[in-house]
Amino acid sequence: MDTFSNLSGDPAYDGQDLSRPGRAAPGQWPELEGALAAVNRDLTATLPDREPLILMVDPTGQPVSPDGSDRDQVYVAMPDGRWHGNAVNACDLEEGDPPEPHDAATVLTVVADAAQSTIMELLRQVWPVCREHKIGMHPRRAGTADDTDALGPPVWWCSGSRDGDGHDVSLVGELAATLPGKQRRALRRSERPT
C-alpha cells in the first residue's frame, strides 16, 4: 500500500496535533535513524544540493500495545514532511513482530528502498544512478544474483547492460567512494567543520 502525506508541509501545522503526522523525535527510532544517516550520506554524495531526508511518524490512533510497543507508522520523508511509499517499520505486532526491525541489514535495506521511493516520486528523478551504466540502482543484499535472500550487507545494485551483467556498486552509505576524485575531494572539504 502506497501512502502519501503532505500534512506536515502545511504552514499552519505546528507539529503539536498527535493525530497528524509529525517528525520523529530524536532517539525514538534508533535503528531507523542510524540507517537513514547512512542513506543521507549517499544522498549528500550524489545530490549535494538536497537537504537530508527525515523520519515522519504517522499516528495510527491505536493505543500502545500491552508490551509497550508503539503502533505508529514511520516513513522516510523529504525535509518538508512529504513522503511516498510504505512504512519502514511495517510489522504485524499481533504476530509477534517487533515494532522496529532489529536486524541492521534489513533495516538499512528497507530505509534505502523507502528513501529511493520518496526521492523518485516526489522529485521525479532517478536516484541513485550507476555511473558506469547511467541507470538507476536498487538496494539489495551483496552478492545476490537474483531476488533470493542473501547474507551479504546491503548494497546499491545495478542491473547493468542489456545482457544482464548486474553488479554491486557500493555498500549503502558508501556511494561517496564511487565518485571521481575531484568530486570526492570536494565532498570531503564540504563536510569539514568550519
Predicted pLDDT of residue 181: 77
Domain boundaries, position 85:
3-191
Least confident span in 50-59, 69-78, 81-90, 107-116: 69-78
What does the pLDDT read at residue 136?
94
Q: How many domains does the chain have?
A: 1
- What per-residue confidence (pLDDT) applies to 191? 66
- pLDDT for 20 equals 85
Binned at pLDDT 50, 70 and 90, residue 8 comes out as very low
Report angle CA 54, 100, 55 to the nearest 5 degrees.
Answer: 10
Whole-model pTM? 0.77
| Residue 11 confidence (pLDDT) above 60 | no
For residue 67, pLDDT over 60 is answered with: no
For the record, the C-alpha cell of 44 comes out as 549528500
